[in-house]
């Protein structure tokens, strides 16, 4: 409650059974998914807010302000990882 969540992604891949349902449930709960590449991420030195620039659908450059940005990369375990686990 009281939190607005945006996820910027290049693509979304379902890695396991049930992941698509998880993704759809996020949409139902109000998560905003943006399929795009972020072109700029900067902190306002006065307010400490984060400004994210990205190209939205249709090619329009957008800028949004956030209180927090979490950067993450998609990861998959390498083949053979089970053998050493």
Per-residue pLDDT 10s for the chain (85 aa) are 688 999 998 877 666 777 888 888 989 999 999 988 899 999 999 999 999 999 988 889 999 999 999 888 767 777 877 777 6
Contacts 24+ apart (CB under 8 A), 43-48: none
Region of residue 59 (phi > 0: left; psi between -120 and 50: alpha; otherwise: beta): left
The sign one gets for the Cα dihedral 78, 37, 70, 18 is negative
Any idea of the CA torsion for 68, 4, 11, 39, to the nearest 10 degrees? -50
């Amino acid at each position: 409650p009281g939190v607005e969540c945006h996820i910027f992604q290049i693509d979304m891949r379902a890695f396991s059974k049930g992941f698509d349902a998880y993704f759809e449930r996020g949409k139902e709960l109000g998560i905003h998914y943006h399929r795009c590449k972020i072109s700029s991420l900067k902190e306002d030195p006065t307010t400490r807010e984060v400004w994210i620039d990205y190209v939205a659908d249709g090619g329009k450059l957008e800028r949004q302000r956030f209180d927090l940005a979490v950067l993450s990369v998609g990861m998959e375990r390498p083949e053979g990882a089970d053998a050493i686990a």
